[in-house]
Structure 1
Amino acid sequence: MPLTAWVNGHFVPLEQAVVHIEDRGFQFADGVYEVIACFSGAFLDLDAHLSRLQRSCDAVAIRLPRPMGEIEQLIAEVYARNPFPHAMIYIQITRGISPRSHHPAEPIEPTLVITARELPEPGQEKIEKGAYAITLRDMRWQRCDIKSIALLASVLGELEAARAGADECFWLDEHGHMLEGCASNCLAVIDGVLVTHPLDHHILDGMSRRMTLRLAVSHGIAIEQRPWQLNEPGLSECMMCSTTDAIMPVCRVDEQIIGSGHPGPVATSLRQWMLEEFEQLRTGATQQP
C-alpha cells in the first residue's frame, strides 16, 4: 500500500508530496510542528497536541491555515489512508511561500503538511539494559517551549550521540543543570523524589513528560519540578521520555554510571504504567464498532 500525505489541500502519494522552493519552512525553518502517536486509530492526547500546535502558531504569528476541527479530521484521514496500525502523525505548518526575504510578503497563505509513519518501538536490549546518553552545553535558541521546525542544534546533538554510540544527547545550561534531550524530556530520582526541570523557555512541555508526572502522582511518587544536576547526592535513577520511547531508563550519562547501572524501580514501574495506558488505547480502539 503506497503512503499518502496531505499537502496544501490535496491527498497525494508520498513520493509526489512537494512544497515550493520558496516555502519559508525550507528557506528559514519558519514553521512549527507536532507529532502525535496513534494506536489502532486512537490518538494519544490529541486535544493537548492540537492546543500546543495552536500555542506554537500564536507564538510565532503564523495563522492556522484551516480551522482546528478540520485539521483534526485531516489527521484522522491521513491515518486511515496509510497502512500502519500504530502510527506517528506529523503535522507541519510553515508561514508559506514568499520571495526570499526575512520579512515575508503579505498576504501569505500558510503551508500545511500532514504525514504518517509507523510508530517505532525501542529494541529489547535497550529496554533491559537502559539507555546511554551524552551531554552537551545547550546551543539552541531560547524559545524551546515553541515546537519549532528549526532543529539543526538537535540534529548536531544526535550526530554527536551517534558518534559516541549513545542513544540520546541531553542539553546542559551554563550552570550544568539538565534541561532536556534532543528528542526527549529527562527526569531523575533524587532521594526518592521524581525530579524534572520546570517548564520555561528552555524545555518543551512534552506530552510524555505530562503523562509521566501524572502517573507518578497517581501512584504516590513525589515529584518536584526544579533545576537539577547529575552530581547531586541521592541521585539513584535517570530516565527520558518521548513519544517513541515512552519512558526509558538511562543507566549511563557520559562516563557516569547512574545508580546500580541497571534500570531502576521507579523508571521501570513508570514505563510499565505508561505502556498499560497505551494498551488500553489499543484495546479500546479495536473494540469500537
Structure 2
Amino acid sequence: MSRIVYVNGAFVAEAEATISVFDRGFLMADGVYEVTSVLDGRLVDFAGHMARLERSLAELEMAAPAGREELESIHRELLARNGVTEGLVYMQVTRGAADRDFLYPDGAAPSLVLFTQSKPLIDTPAAARGLKVIVLDDIRWGRRDIKTVQLLAPSMAKMAAKAAGKDDAWMVEDGFVTEGTSNNAYIVTRDGAIVTRDLSHSILHGITRAAVLRLAREAQMRIEERPFTIAEAQDAAEAFVTSASSFVQPVVEIDGTALGDGTPGPVARRLREIYVSEALKSAV
C-alpha cells in the first residue's frame, strides 16, 4: 500500500505529492521541522514539539501554517491512514513559494508537509549494543537552537562516521562538545553526575532532552548543565545521547576510546527504561 502524506491541505499518495520548484525550503533551506515519535499509535511529547515549532517560526519571522489543534488532527489522520503504531511523524514548514530572492517575500503562504515512518523505536539493536562515535569540528551555522531543515552539515558528519566504520559523530567547537549530529550529548562522570551542555544558540533545545533531565531529577540523579571536552568524555564512566527518534541511546566508544567495559552503562540503561515507561503513559 502506498504511503499517504500530507501536502498543503491534502492527503495524497506519496508518488502523487508535489510542491513548487520555487518553494523557499528547496531554494534557500528556508524552513523548520519537527519529528514526533509514536508509541502504541499515540504521539510522544507532542505539546513540547508544538511549542518548539512555534519558537522556531517566531525566530525566523515565519507565519504558522495552522494552529496546534489542526496540526494535531493532521498528525492523527496520517497515523490512521498509514496504520502506524510505532515510528515517527515528520512535519516541515517552509516560508512558501516565491520568486527567488534573498529577501523574505511579502504575502507568501507557508508550505506544510507531513509524512510518517513506521519503525521500531523501543527494541532496537543500537540501544542494546550502544553507539560508537567519532569526533568532528562543528561546521554548522550559529543558530542551532532553531530546528531548521538545513541538515547538510549533520548529513556530512554522519557519512564521515559511516566511512570510519562508526555509528555517529560528536561535534566540537572551541574545545567543547556541542552535540551529536541529530541528538543531544551527555556523559556520566565517575562520581555519578550527568553532564550535558547548557541551553544556548549553540545546541538544539531538545524536547527529549528536557523530558529526560526532568525524569533524572525526579529519580534523584545529579545533573550538571555545562560544556565538557572530549578528554573529559573519554574519561567518563559512560555516555549517551537523546532524541525523539532514539529516546536514550548509550554511547560506548568516543573517538576510539571505549567507555567502561565497552557496553551500555547502568545510568543510560536506567534512563532509557524510565523514559520509555513515561512516554508510554503520557503519549496522547
The interval holding the TM-score normalised by the smaller chain is over 0.9
Q: After the TM superposition, which residues 60-99 of structure 1 pair with which residues of structure 2 at under 5 Å, given as runs?
A: 60-99=60-99
1:251 aligns with 2:252: yes
Q: After the TM superposition, which residues 23-38 of structure 1 pair with which residues of structure 2 at under 5 Å, given as runs?
A: 23-38=23-38
1:188 aligns with 2:180: no
Q: What amino acid sits opposite 2:263 in the alignment?
A: H
Q: How far 1:276 sits from its partner (Å)?
A: 1.9
Structure 1 length-normalised TM: 0.92
Which region of structure 1 is more displaced relative to structure 2, 272-281 or 72-81? 272-281
- Distance in 1 between the 2:230 and 2:22 partners? 44
Q: How far 1:125 sits from its partner (Å)?
A: 4.4
SS at match of 1:232: helix
Q: After the TM superposition, which residues 93-132 of structure 1 pair with which residues of structure 2 at under 5 Å, given as runs?
A: 93-121=93-121, 125-132=125-132
Gaps of 5+ in 2: none
Given the superposition, is the C-alpha separation of residues 32 and 124 from structure 1 closer, same or farther in structure 2, using an over 3 Å criterion?
Answer: closer
Which region of structure 1 is more displaced relative to structure 2, 142-151 or 118-127? 118-127
8 Å CA contact 1:249, 1:268 repeated in 2: yes
RMSD over aligned Cα, in angstroms? 1.7
- Distance in 2 between the 1:109 and 1:60 partners? 15
Taking every aligned residue pair, what percent have the same amino acid on both sides? 34
- Distance in 2 between the 1:152 and 1:39 partners? 29
Q: How far 1:256 sits from its partner (Å)?
A: 1.4
Q: What amino acid sits opposite 1:249 in the alignment?
A: P
Q: What amino acid sits opposite 1:236 in the alignment?
A: A
SS at match of 2:263: coil
Structure 2 length-normalised TM: 0.94
Q: How far 1:244 sits from its partner (Å)?
A: 2.2
SS at match of 1:170: strand
Given the superposition, is the C-alpha separation of residues 124 and 85 from structure 1 closer, same or farther in structure 2, using an over 3 Å criterion?
Answer: closer
SS at match of 1:81: helix
Gaps of 5+ in 1: none
- Distance in 2 between the 1:89 and 1:122 partners? 16
Q: How far 1:281 sits from its partner (Å)?
A: 5.1
1:240 aligns with 2:246: no
1:273 aligns with 2:252: no
Q: How far 1:104 sits from its partner (Å)?
A: 3.6
8 Å CA contact 2:88, 2:117 repeated in 1: yes
Which region of structure 1 is more displaced relative to structure 2, 147-156 or 119-128? 119-128
Given the superposition, is the C-alpha separation of residues 123 and 161 from structure 1 closer, same or farther in structure 2, using an over 3 Å criterion?
Answer: farther
- Where does residue 262 of structure 1 map in the other structure? 263
- Where does residue 141 of structure 2 map in the other structure? 141
- Distance in 1 between the 2:107 and 2:171 partners? 38
